[in-house]
Amino acid sequence: MICPFCRHEESRVVDSRPIDDGSSIKRRRECVECGRRFTTSESTLLFVEKRSGALEPFSREKVISGVRKACQGRPVDDDDLSLLAQRVEEIIRAEGQAEIPSHEVGMAILSPLRELDVIAYLRYASVYRNFTTLEDFEGEIALLRAAPSEDFLAFEKLNSEKNSPNKTSPKNNPASLTNIPNN
């Protein structure tokens, strides 16, 4: 790796750490000539096969631009979108293929988008899955109701634990309220 300061060709690695769930690695290097340090990152190449058969490198930016329109007017910010793109990449990389068809990228977007915002998800899914009738929407909404996202399940679980009759929290136990000293 050529030193960006003096163009010397040799450097030594002083630190390495995996980033993005292990799909890339960051290395801190020190130039053996001028002693200055710089960072490099290394990641395995992931290609998307377009419908035409052409290959292009996977791009988180493309994922973001693909869902941005569906998120218009929704409480979704740029951080949410970059996290979503990161999750999409993780889902795809977990499949262990170096080349994936573009429609699988679309599939990988659905689940994290659903967790992020159900309305954006419905908009995206309606285009992506070619919804043509009201029944298509109704079917998807019924599915959303029947199988809430994991976050929602966790939230429900937390709530049911809070309100469980076996655990008497001061809030649910009128007796403990009357025992609060009144001075």
Tell me which residues touch Zn ion (CB under 5 A): 3, 5-6, 8, 31, 33-34
Give the span between the Cα atoms of 162 and 170, in whole angstroms: 11
Distance in Å, CB of 5 to Zn ion, minimum: 5
Distance in Å, CB of 7 to Zn ion, minimum: 7
Comparison of 36 and 60: residue with beta carbon closer to Zn ion: 36
Task: Output the CA–CA distances (angstroms, integers) from residue 8 to 31, 42, 65, 100, in the order listed.
Answer: 7, 20, 39, 38
Distance in Å, CB of 28 to Zn ion, minimum: 14
Give the span between the Cα atoms of 32 and 9, in whole angstroms: 9
Comparison of 15 and 150: residue with beta carbon closer to Zn ion: 15
Comparison of 3 and 76: residue with beta carbon closer to Zn ion: 3
Comparison of 7 and 103: residue with beta carbon closer to Zn ion: 7
Distance in Å, CB of 39 to Zn ion, minimum: 14
Distance in Å, CB of 34 to Zn ion, minimum: 3
Comparison of 28 and 62: residue with beta carbon closer to Zn ion: 28
Comparison of 29 and 93: residue with beta carbon closer to Zn ion: 29
Distance in Å, CB of 3 to Zn ion, minimum: 3
Residues present in the chain in total: 183
The sign of the CA dihedral 117, 57, 18, 77 is negative
